[in-house]
Amino acid sequence: MEKNVKKAVRDSYARIAKRQGSCCDSTSSCCNKTDTVQDISKKIGYSEKELGSIPEGSNLGLGCGNPIALLL
């Protein structure tokens, strides 16, 4: 069972990485269809400065929030 879960997660992330976009789509309630990966990242706690330090093409909108900011 654990291997199946890991494979499903790996496959899902691979599909998202190949299309170079986030998980948001018409069936997701996490964001609007028009949100960019930058918008999504800001909503989950990343600052403009932090987003500016990410190499181009690396932000796919898959973050789970900014744990460091949540600690402060």
* Size (the chain), residues: 72
Q: What is the pTM of this model?
A: 0.50
**Rounded Cα gap, residues 37 and 43, in angstroms:** 10
Neighbours of 57 (CB within 10 A): 8
What digits encode the pLDDT tens for the residues 55-72? 888 887 777 777 776 666
pLDDT at 26: 45
Answer yes or no: are the C-beta atoms of 44 and 37 closer than 8 Å. no
pLDDT at 49: 92
